Amino acid sequence: MSEKLPVRLAADLAVVAEEHRWLVRDLWAAQAVGIVGGEPKCCKSFLALDMAVAVAAGKPCLRRFPVVEPGPVLLYAAEDALHVVRRRLEGICAAAGVSLAGLPVHVITARSLRLDQQDDRLRLRATVEALKPKLLILDPFVRLHRIDENVSGDVAPLLAHLRDLQRRFHVAVCVVHHARKGAGRVRAGQALRGSSEFHAWGDSNLYMRRSADHQLVLSVEQRAAASVPAISLELRVEGESLALQVLDRAPVTEQSPAEPGPADRVEEILAAATAPVPLTELRAACRIRTASLCQTLNDLVRDGRVRKTSDGYALTSPPL
């Protein structure tokens, strides 16, 4: 006979005090996995690095959000040279009033780290086990693999591995991930590039966008807590510091999303699909005339955003 699964009465489940529910109050839950997402040039990496300095130093993130559980941070910045990473961290440290020297921010210096390779997964696990960080930051996801980000069956095992690290070593995991260009008219989580697995995976998700007047706006999404209103930010230079700062003004109201156009609707449907979608299914889902749909698909294929296969249409894999 098979061994039974462990169970417990709901009333006997552990109660976590409010002060222990956060790593960074109102921004990142304790031991949460999640995404820092946004289009290019929206300061996603600056936000992730600000979290790194805040957690390592025990200082408020963005000089506004207190760190509840400070501790070591493990960082992999795949797209920036190491001297650039250091310069950015020094600028944020200057804004936070701390010294980079002795700060427990550990930077992975390997030339590559691929979560679709068993050897690299084991190396990352051994590093997390040895350093016992409070926060693991991986920036960006697209440099961590050679899979098709649009295929749920490819993405899910990689995210599951990061979830396993979180549970096994009680570490918060922050993954920086790109949003689709021109997806500003859809909900932030739905704008993330690739499979819908990314949005579903996160416990704490932070989204950077630019408003109609080009102002940086941070939106916060929590799985198990109320989310704070949108936050207006700017990248500010003050002496030696270069860091994101919260603007002291009335809370930002994000522009109401416009009715998505045909291209947005097609990309949203394809992003949620796990296989190419036939024209007939797209027509039924989009609810637009066949001629308009065909023209939209032709434009998307021409622009390299969608590819046509023998089985239907699919989003183009992100460039490596």
List, in order, residues 6 or more apart from 296 with CB less than 8 Å away: 262, 263, 266, 288
- For the chain, domains (ranges, CATH) are 16-246 (3.40.50.300), 262-315 (1.10.10.10)
pTM over 0.85: no
Q: From 214, 143, 210, select the one nearest 177 (Cα to Cα).
A: 143
Using CA atoms, how far apart are residues 137 and 301, in angstroms rounded to an integer?
Answer: 34
Say if residues 112 and 77 touch (Cβ distance below 8 Å).
no
**Other beta carbons less than 10 A from residue 298's beta carbon:** 12
- Per residue of the chain (320 residues), what is the pLDDT tens digit? 788 888 999 998 877 655 558 999 999 999 999 999 998 889 999 999 999 999 999 999 999 999 999 999 999 999 999 999 999 999 999 999 999 999 999 999 999 999 999 999 999 999 999 999 999 999 999 999 999 998 889 999 999 999 999 999 999 999 999 987 665 555 666 778 888 899 899 999 999 998 877 789 999 999 988 899 999 999 999 888 999 999 976 544 444 444 567 887 888 888 888 889 998 888 888 877 788 888 888 888 887 888 899 989 998 865 44
- What is residue 20's predicted lDDT score, i.e. its pLDDT? 58
